[in-house]
Amino acid sequence: MWISGVHVVKEVLKNKPHLAVEVLFCRKDYAVTEIIDQAKTFGISVKEVSREDLNRVVGYRRHQGIALKIKAFPYADFDDLMDQPAREISPLVLLDGIEDPQNFGSILRSAAFFKAGGVIIPEHRSVSVTDAVSRVSAGAISMLSVVRVPNLVNAMKILADKGFTIVGLDAHAELSIYDSILHHPVAIVVGNEHRGMRRLVRERCHRIVKIPDGGEMESLNAAVATAVALAEVFRQNR
């Protein structure tokens, strides 16, 4: 897996310098002295290559002249997350089958901005953390606990037992998110971009809310809806 882009690489080295990094590649003509020095401090091998070679190695051109190669993204452990006090990891974001890397990366960025305690995704039928996701997240993957679980419904049961209020987003719900109490600890559930939440996931929610529309558009996409929901959680708990 590749993590590329000046800002993203900086954030990764600042927040998670031991992210199973194998090597840092950078363009010979690119001024990234600070990043190179930081990588060397952590014992990371640095290779200077031409733009053409870097394009070939990472497989795309939008790398801003620098890329980290890591063995695999280290997902956080769900049990470790649950060992922490509920209010300290609230809010949590649960994604029920998000498939688009752009949406996932944007959701991670919003979750980091609003100080979410973690993002939980299912192992199957869901997008995972990839280089494309890391680029869109703008470094958020290094600031968040991203957890993969075998069964999202079981995870929701554990969260409920821990005291979380689980709130699902649905454009067709009757209750507005602005009329719902979202005090910590709270978990926001976001369904698939096209199908929404699965039935069993929906049934595990304590309440279903909508973001009321203000115009001709019927609904927001998953990433924007998540950002709006997290902003409201943040506002209510300030």
- For 114-146, write each residue's pLDDT tens digit: 999 999 999 998 999 988 888 888 778 878 899
- For residues 123 and 22, the model is more confident at 123
Q: Per-residue DSSP letters for 150-182?
A: S-HHHHHHHHHHTTPEEEEE-TT-SEEGGGS--
Say yes or no: 59 and 88 in one domain.
Answer: no
Say yes or no: 183 and 155 in one domain.
Answer: yes
- The chain-wide mean pLDDT, for the chain, equals 89
pLDDT in tens, 200-215: 999 999 999 999 987 6
Query: Of 45, 70, 95, at which residue does a domain stop?
Result: 70
pLDDT above 70: residue 222: yes
Say yes or no: 64 and 162 in one domain.
Answer: no
What pLDDT shows up at residue 19? Answer: 60
What pLDDT shows up at residue 141? Answer: 82
Say yes or no: 223 and 165 in one domain.
Answer: yes
Say yes or no: 88 and 66 in one domain.
Answer: no
Query: Of 70, 91, 123, at which residue does a domain stop?
Result: 70
- The pLDDT of 151-173, averaged and rounded, is 97
Cα 92-72-132 angle, rounded to 5 deg: 70
- For residues 17 and 41, the model is more confident at 41
Inter-CA distances, 116 with 80, 90, 147, 168, 170, Å: 16, 6, 13, 16, 20
- The pLDDT of 107-111, averaged and rounded, is 96
Beta-bridged to residue 119, according to DSSP, are 93, 146
- For residues 122 and 61, the model is more confident at 122
- The pLDDT of 97-110, averaged and rounded, is 95
| CATH number of the domain encompassing residue 15 | 3.30.1330.30
Say yes or no: 178 and 231 in one domain.
Answer: yes
pLDDT above 70: residue 17: no
Say yes or no: 63 and 95 in one domain.
Answer: no
pLDDT above 80: residue 31: no
What pLDDT shows up at residue 29? Answer: 65
Domain of residue 208 covers 78-236
Say yes or no: 46 and 102 in one domain.
Answer: no
As separate numbers, helices (DSSP H) first and strands (DSSP E) second, the chain gives 9, 11
Number of domains in the chain: 2
- For residues 11 and 163, the model is more confident at 163
Say yes or no: 111 and 228 in one domain.
Answer: yes
| CATH number of the domain encompassing residue 155 | 3.40.1280.10
DSSP label at residue 100: -
Ramachandran assignment for 27, one of left (phi > 0), alpha (psi -120 to 50 degrees), beta (any other): beta
Say yes or no: 22 and 88 in one domain.
Answer: no
Band (pLDDT 50/70/90 cuts) for residue 83 is very high
Say yes or no: 84 and 58 in one domain.
Answer: no
pLDDT above 90: residue 228: yes
- The pLDDT of 16-45, averaged and rounded, is 75
Say yes or no: 40 and 86 in one domain.
Answer: no
